[in-house]
A and B are shown apart, each in its own frame.
Chain A
């Protein structure tokens, strides 16, 4: 191949990569723009959460979605969360509780200027789809207390016995039919059209296929993606306002093409510092990310040649890799199954099984837990989970502690030390083998 043509090929590949990233940026910006413009457009604003969100249904009512968790994490990435948390604590919120909530409350208290610097409108409706974490319930009670706006709840029962029962599914479908849909109709003034919902669900399933392909590409050696840090960007659109849209379908199509190209070239993941060097360690991660020091945290991995091949955090907005897809033929039931199946709604034995499977299927060297002070939903039980995994797989596990968006709980030196000893442990295991 001539130099000119190989340059052209590189440019083309970069263009593909850029396209997917640009596409996502544009989508996110559009949503914030839409929120900022509701004064002119008259569109109603619905706040809702990520795990088990029913975005396809929400879209049927021509409303604009606002996602407090996304705002919180974006504020974390932009180093704004620390001040918001302190603001909330100054006004009576306990230092012990989830910092997502406090970032959100602090932001509201300071004029509700969102992460992009644009004003976020007040909610016309709080859609409390309450999946896998009790804090959500109190979070929206707190927001309702702030905004005095209508709230509608979708209570999703927990998979306490590790299975979904007909009773659970029926309960969710009934709530959708009898409380959630009528309330969305009332607030938006738009009549529910089940065919429109089916259309969104069809789009969701397409995007889900491509997302799964991308996540599972990490089974390759070297893995072309980082399935934790990098994948957090990949799941952004499908976890938030965009699942069910043609934009999301297009984003995942572009992303898949980009990753396929990397696989074809035997390349590892892209990091903030460019392509990662040789892959030395393959890890499965459990727990959420840290957003205030994301780059620094990630660097501790890629500098050592460690790639995260699979993570549980990228399943909080849907576990698609074991076969679930939104199903236009059974719209409401499929929304129910989706909510019931998200990672935070699985019981501890199910979580252990899932991680064990990841370690085996992705040929990982071990498990790394990022334990988050904020989040009891994730954290309570992780130490037992770690032991179980070590016993079952014979692979070493390690534990670091940070927080999602509270910069006070990120101790770079501690985390780095822990990671270094962990990598040494893996080396020793290898030598022993």
Chain B
């Protein structure tokens, strides 16, 4: 008998593998006038895109299935892979149906990629989406309200009609539901990691980058119903948090390898856009100020943002470990990833202070060799078990 979760995972896998974005194309073709706005990691207010009647489509690189030919001619060898596979997607026409693209302020590479797209796709709405690094409402808040308003106006021009406050409120409510469900999903995985294997967790979460939010909400419900209390094989794995994979994505095999080598992944920073707000955005009142002020006060912490207080540096990771009952951290960063690699020594200090073990390695989205990673993770898992028993 097919387990109930299997068709869901098959669908997610198909979405994940489809580098032609057929699902988004079909969504767009279904109703005349529909538009698709692509976005890159790490965070954009998808609520505004949705309220414009458009599909926010997450572009998270080309993975290990895309052969990058032209993209390599655009980047030096010492730059990470995600921009080159993204350029490949653009140059091979795989994103020709996309009406706009947003480049969040995550690092200099994505920032400069926004300018490259302006030069390569002059027909497209391209926006570098700057968020404030000053978190005071009267300073960063005001600035951000204007930025969001500019984004809103840009999409209104594209659409040829205003985006109403009512539509924004409706979208905020839908994304609040999505975040609630994602939180529930992460909680379920923490409670029963054997029922929510890391690769499935990844794929279900990643599907949210490609589906309309309404569909993703249903998918999350269905998946959780299917696996909750399912009695899937349970292994004697240790529990770890993965940190550093917030932009360029690891190959699925890498995630599998970590689990196979004895580590249950109980928290991670994949696709932070799904969980960016740590509390529901208020629906009543002015939607743009709600989004802006909430961003200031309830954003997740990550390497790509500024931590205003030294005492809080790395606290989020320690809390992620404590909160998920994890026993260690695996730092996995994309090679040449400035935010992840510059941040790492500070995070490691915070873990050391909290007596939390960790290991670190680098990957690329097209890494093929898993053996060294399997060995490293396996040794780590063994040492945690040993250390846990003797402690």
Contact = CB atoms under 8 A, between A and B. Distances in A.
Determine if chain A interacts with chain B.
Answer: yes
Nearest to B111: A158
A379 B79 contact: yes
B336 interface: yes
A167 B153 CA distance: 15
B342 A138 contact: yes
A83 interface: no
A373 to B, nearest CB: 5
A381 B338 contact: no
A125 B335 CA distance: 32
A348 B313 contact: no
B10 interface: no
Interface in B334-352: 335-339, 341-346, 348-349
A348 B112 contact: yes
B133 interface: yes
A160 B342 contact: no
Contacts of B119: 348-349, 352, 384, 388
A30 interface: no
B382 interface: no
Interface in A295-339: none
B75 interface: yes
A171 B144 CA distance: 9
Main SS class of interface, B: helix
A81 B295 CA distance: 40
Contact of B128 (A138, A139, A161, A178): A161
A97 B79 contact: no
Interface stretch (A88-96, A208-216, A247-255): A88-96
Interface stretch (B158-166, B266-274, B304-312, B318-326): B304-312
B109 A158 contact: no
B211 to A, nearest CB: 28
B313 A138 contact: no
B230 to A, nearest CB: 41
Given A153-B133, A167-B146, A171-B142, A158 B105 contact: yes
Nearest to A96: B336
A95 to B, nearest CB: 9
A178 B139 contact: yes
B348 A133 contact: no
B73 A135 contact: no
Nearest to B147: A167
A271 to B, nearest CB: 29
A134 B109 CA distance: 10
A93 B134 CA distance: 27
B143 interface: yes
Contacts of A158: 105, 111, 128, 130
Interface string B270-310: 00000000000000000000000000000000011011101
Contact of B342 (A97, A165, A371): A97
A407 B229 CA distance: 58
Contacts of A137: 133, 306
Max chain B C-beta neighbours (<10 A), residue from A139, A155, A373 = A155
A155 B132 contact: yes
B85 to A, nearest CB: 14
A377 interface: yes
Contacts of A145: 310, 313, 345-346, 349
A141 interface: yes
Contacts of B345: 91-93, 142, 145
A145 B140 CA distance: 24
B138 interface: yes
Contacts of B105: 134, 158
A148 interface: yes
A96 B335 contact: yes
Interface string B90-121: 00000000000001011111011111101110
B127 A160 contact: yes
B379 interface: no
A171 B349 CA distance: 34
A145 B310 CA distance: 7
A93 B349 CA distance: 12
Given A93-B345, A161-B128, A376 B134 contact: no
B79 A376 contact: yes
Given A138-B342, A179-B136, A373-B78, A381 B112 contact: yes
A160 B339 CA distance: 20
A23 interface: no
A160 B136 contact: no
A349 B117 CA distance: 10
A245 to B, nearest CB: 29
A158 B345 CA distance: 27
Nearest to B340: A94
A153 B111 CA distance: 20
A175 B134 contact: yes
Max chain B C-beta neighbours (<10 A), residue from A133, A139, A165, A379 = A379
Given A138-B343, A142-B345, A148 B310 contact: yes
A138 B339 contact: yes
B288 to A, nearest CB: 13
Contacts of A142: 342, 345-346
A396 interface: no
B390 interface: no
A182 interface: no
A179 B139 contact: yes
Nearest to A177: B139
Contact of B138 (A144, A174, A347, A376): A174
A320 B204 CA distance: 52
Contacts of A91: 345
A261 interface: no
B341 A97 contact: yes
Nearest to B143: A171
B141 to A, nearest CB: 10
Contact of B116 (A101, A165, A175, A381): A381
B306 A174 contact: no
B83 interface: yes
A90 B335 CA distance: 18
Nearest to B303: A138
Interface in B49-77: 73-76
Contact of B73 (A94, A376, A383): A383
A382 interface: yes
A161 B341 contact: no
Contacts of B136: 178-179
A195 B330 CA distance: 54
A137 B109 CA distance: 15
Contacts of B103: 160
A142 B141 CA distance: 26
A141 B111 contact: no
A115 to B, nearest CB: 23
A137 B194 CA distance: 39
Interface of A: 91-94, 96-98, 101, 130, 133-135, 137-139, 141-142, 144-145, 148, 151, 153, 155, 157-158, 160-162, 165, 167-168, 170-171, 174-175, 178-179, 347-349, 351-352, 371, 373, 376-377, 379-384, 388, 401
Given A138-B338, A347-B112, 6 more contacts: A153-B133, A160-B114, A160-B129, A171-B139, A348-B115, A349-B119
8 contacts: A91-B345, A135-B108, A144-B310, A145-B345, A153-B306, A161-B128, A165-B146, A348-B118
Closest 4 CB pairs of A and B: A348-B115, A160-B128, A138-B342, A171-B143
